[in-house]
Amino acid sequence: MHVAPVGGTAVQDHVALAEIELCGELIIAASAAEDRLSLESIDEVLRVAEEREVR
């Protein structure tokens, strides 16, 4: 059995970390909302409009 060494050798997947952060933001927004989030609200939380403006 191979066990990963303890210490600063962890590999970070920056894309996965960003996706996890966005999912967390969606969960927070959904839990704070009184009703279901609209598509526009979801886009705002995910900063979709900002991405479109940059391109």
Whole-model pTM? 0.63
Nearest to 44 by CA among 11, 5, 9, 53: 53
pLDDT for 43-52, tens place per residue? Answer: 999 888 765 5
Whether residue 8 has pLDDT greater than 60: no
Query: CA of 49: how far to CAs of 10, 25, 33, 44, 55, in Å?
Result: 33, 16, 20, 7, 10
Q: In 3-state terms, the chain is what percent helix, strand and coil (to 5)?
A: 60, 0, 40
pLDDT for 11-43, tens place per residue? Answer: 678 888 899 999 999 999 999 999 999 999 999
